[in-house]
Structure 1
């Protein structure tokens, strides 16, 4: 998927396409996380509508917390585990978005090192 350090650097148009696809992957992952949270909250709580469950899941993803605390033990345990999962999901989503830029910077450094080594060999 990515070019090796011995290969030429990817063109700007192809790089921005790669960055855009990574952004779409991260948004898809966040959407999946939102769906998991809404379904879990809706499943474990008895008297909650699906739209309230979706809002609560979105608030947890945003770091605000739920608007109404879960009443059941299952709901409380779910939100405890979901909070841990959301923290990890945030790190994964940020990593997916940053990855193409980090790879391009490191690829540029490797190319600069190879050019300096070629000059030293002459």
Structure 2
């Protein structure tokens, strides 16, 4: 799905290539978030015995970092909610990395291009 980013010695990718990378990263982040939300909805529905709407609400709130909305009826539901909260934190960090990767790579690549230009000027003088 993803072509490799250009190396430090390659020229900077065009804006079109950069925008394609941003869109692919956003799509991947959306898919990862959707899968994580699905895990939460299924868990809250089948383990905590919430309705589908309440399961969606609780999974969305936990995944979004807000916290649970209802009382958990059993110990197994509380254990699931604990693991889902930890899992959601990792998903958040991963999604942020996926979304920011193209911009971070481009910024670092620009920095190295400027550095190489300075080195070339120093060699000429």
Pair in the same fold by TM > 0.5: yes
Asked whether 1:24 is paired with 2:27, we answer yes
Matching of residue 110 in structure 1 with residue 92 in structure 2: no
Q: Post-superposition shift, 1:9?
A: 0.4
Counterpart CA distance in 1 for 2:93 and 2:71 is: 25
- Residue correspondences, number: 121
Pair 1:40-2:43 in alignment? yes
Q: Give the Cα separation in 2 of the matches to 1:62 and 1:7.
A: 38
- Runs of 4+ aligned structure 1 residues displaced above 3 Å come to none
Structure 1 unaligned residues grouped into runs of 5+? none
User: Using the alignment, how far apart are the partners of 1:7 and 1:25 within structure 2?
Assistant: 25
Listed as ranges, the gaps of 5+ residues in structure 2 are none
**Per-residue deviation at 1:64?**
2.2
* CA displacement, residues 71-110 of structure 1 (integer Å, 9 cap, x when unaligned): 0111000001111111111111111111100100000111
Q: CA deviation at 1:51?
A: 2.5
Question: What TM-score comes out, normalization by structure 1 length?
Answer: 0.93
Any idea what the Cα deviations from partners look like across 1:34-67, whole Å, max 9, x if unmatched?
Answer: 0010111112123x22222112101111222222
Partner residue of 2:75? 73
Tell me whether 106-115 or 58-67 shows the greater mean CA deviation. 58-67
Residue 82, structure 1, aligned to residue 88, structure 2: no
